[in-house]
Structure 1
């Protein structure tokens, strides 16, 4: 087991990375109070809920089971959890445990951040994507019908438990979605990691335990460094959003849940890569390597056929990362070196998007 310590101004917490951690109950020292609300979904409750509850027999445990899917990441789901917390008289000395992927983690975190102005939360992420990305750093929130992740807060957990055994039940599509975020980390700041991924991508997709744990640890270390330096994304933490401005637009336009987050981010990374080349920041020879690694990870690399530049621009203008109403993007100088580009020319961006090749849709049934 590996432990990463997050030390920021008002919060210090561990990230545990290993196997068998759910059964070992390594999270119990970080539970605050005697009341626990477990938030999970129907699928995960049948797989892991009993195992979790066995380690919590000394506590007063209640469970909220939400429907599965990005389309349920909304204020209605949050309100349903608040209703249950109030019904059972949960007070400030209570703990929420999120048992699920990014949707469950984001909903649970936002719920905990607001209930009685903040109660403790522990994240137990169950997807590869949530283990390497969304469970770390304190971003919480829900989608608005007009834009993704517009309603939320920064709220750090008491602990994050990354049990690699929990992703053994994922399908290939979900694994690839998580790999997209891992590739992103290598692109923004670690060329050696990118080369390792090129060489070992089949091992990662097959969940080879040694390379899987290495990739999770590496990704968490990279994200932790950015979070520690810039908790609330005022500056360099924005680099972690490579591909996300375009990716969120795809998710929103195609309807929440029709594209997995990692699938949309993969296409977003390709758009950012091509824009970086067009602006003379990235050498064209890198395009093939990036595209090849994403494709070999069974990820899409083409813009959806029915999305035009006007569809992107409408949604991009609502993006939280924009500054003074100017489009702000994360672009590449090289593989392993990213930068923040402010005030992107809208006409230039439209011309590039309309010029790029498009395909009908991502294959959804792998």
Structure 2
């Protein structure tokens, strides 16, 4: 049941390979990686302990000269200091303009390694090897790379496409439950913004998906990647349509920053953000109450949180003003209009946002 999805970006097009127990096929997909230059496998300490040696051997078997850089991992290391350390590793290990960066891990590793590849010697190749559900359904696809600053998430980065994304769903068996739920939030997002049939599937297959049924996972991961590939092909640099992928994120990024990235995973924060985006849409009559309830119920039924805690609403709105998706100092949000359809709404009155933050 292995799937191949193409991201159509002209000369920057690439394939996403999704399957189960498909690691042996990876070496055969690396024909385009230069053999004369050194490449680097970037991972975090947890993922590298689990899978680092296995991937290292696969890359070596493909005839590549592989170096290794292992990050501490976690959102707290997604910063300029870690990026600087990674540059130093790349230089000291002899990487050059023909080198390739292999990003083995979740969204944090993919974002940092991808940004390093985008900016090292003004751009070298990179390949995404996502090991978390969030990375397999979302962050490994589309070329968004970057790091966080103290004032907000992903404020420094680049659009830089990988040459390949390779996802083996069996790697999700070792994912902590909290991290698995994080990915499910992004899956729900795709159903809300784009595909009512996917949303229906998530409603009717809750227990199988929570139990990590491999066939269910291949289905939902493939569908999310198909949606993102379609959106990115039309709007690579997020000038319009691609912004729909930010449903729940402006709220979520504020919740993460105001709790110093310690209380919520990214997906948990996005899930809560979707709850409040839906609440705002309902308060402004964009979405009917029945669909709004379905969104909140699905988030709840997958074990994701529904409330941000004891943060003051005024602080949340102030932090939302710093979001990079805003224009002219006015808050812009993605709001659901129905199951499977969302809209980008600009110049939202901060008082409206405070009113639903209860």
TM-score range, shorter chain: over 0.9
Instruction: Give the structure 2 partner of residue 263 of structure 1.
Output: 268
Is residue 21 of structure 1 aligned with residue 22 of structure 2?
yes
Is residue 206 of structure 1 aligned with residue 229 of structure 2?
no
Is residue 36 of structure 1 aligned with residue 50 of structure 2?
no
Quote the offset at 1:303 in angstroms.
Answer: 2.4
TM-score (norm 1): 0.94
Instruction: Give the structure 2 partner of residue 321 of structure 1.
Output: 325
Quote the offset at 1:21 in angstroms.
Answer: 2.8
Unaligned runs of 5+ in 2: none
- For the aligned residue pairs, the C-alpha RMSD in angstroms reads 1.2
Aligned partners of 1:251 and 1:257 also within 8 Å:
yes
- Aligned equivalents of 1:319, 1:32: Cα separation in 2: 39
Unaligned runs of 5+ in 1: 357-366
Instruction: Give the structure 1 partner of residue 239 of structure 2.
Output: 234
Instruction: Give the structure 1 partner of residue 64 of structure 2.
Output: 59
CA offsets per residue over residues 48-82 of structure 1, 9 Å max, x none?
11111112222221100110210000011111111
- Aligned equivalents of 1:257, 1:227: Cα separation in 2: 31
SS of 1:303 mapped into structure 2: coil
Quote the offset at 1:103 in angstroms.
Answer: 0.3
Instruction: Give the structure 2 partner of residue 119 of structure 1.
Output: 124
Quote the offset at 1:10 in angstroms.
Answer: 4.3
Correspondences of 1:149-164 after superposition (within 5 Å): 149-164=154-169
Quote the offset at 1:86 in angstroms.
Answer: 1.0
Instruction: Give the structure 1 partner of residue 5 of structure 2.
Output: 4
Correspondences of 1:219-298 after superposition (within 5 Å): 219-298=224-303
Aligned partners of 2:38 and 2:94 also within 8 Å:
no
Quote the offset at 1:313 in angstroms.
Answer: 1.4
CA offsets per residue over residues 202-246 of structure 1, 9 Å max, x none?
111111111111000011101111100000000010001000000
CA offsets per residue over residues 170-204 of structure 1, 9 Å max, x none?
12111111111000000001111111110001111
Instruction: Give the structure 2 partner of residue 102 of structure 1.
Output: 107
Moved over 3 A (4+): none
TM-score (norm 2): 0.96
- Aligned equivalents of 1:9, 1:343: Cα separation in 2: 34
Quote the offset at 1:137 in angstroms.
Answer: 0.3
Is residue 47 of structure 1 aligned with residue 36 of structure 2?
no
Is residue 135 of structure 1 aligned with residue 140 of structure 2?
yes
Quote the offset at 1:312 in angstroms.
Answer: 1.0
SS of 1:150 mapped into structure 2: strand
Quote the offset at 1:88 in angstroms.
Answer: 2.2
- Aligned equivalents of 2:225, 2:170: Cα separation in 1: 17
Aligned partners of 1:69 and 1:257 also within 8 Å:
no
Is residue 351 of structure 1 aligned with residue 355 of structure 2?
yes
CA offsets per residue over residues 2-23 of structure 1, 9 Å max, x none?
1111121441111001022333
Quote the offset at 1:274 in angstroms.
Answer: 0.6
CA offsets per residue over residues 244-268 of structure 1, 9 Å max, x none?
0000101111112431111000100
- Aligned equivalents of 2:40, 2:275: Cα separation in 1: 40
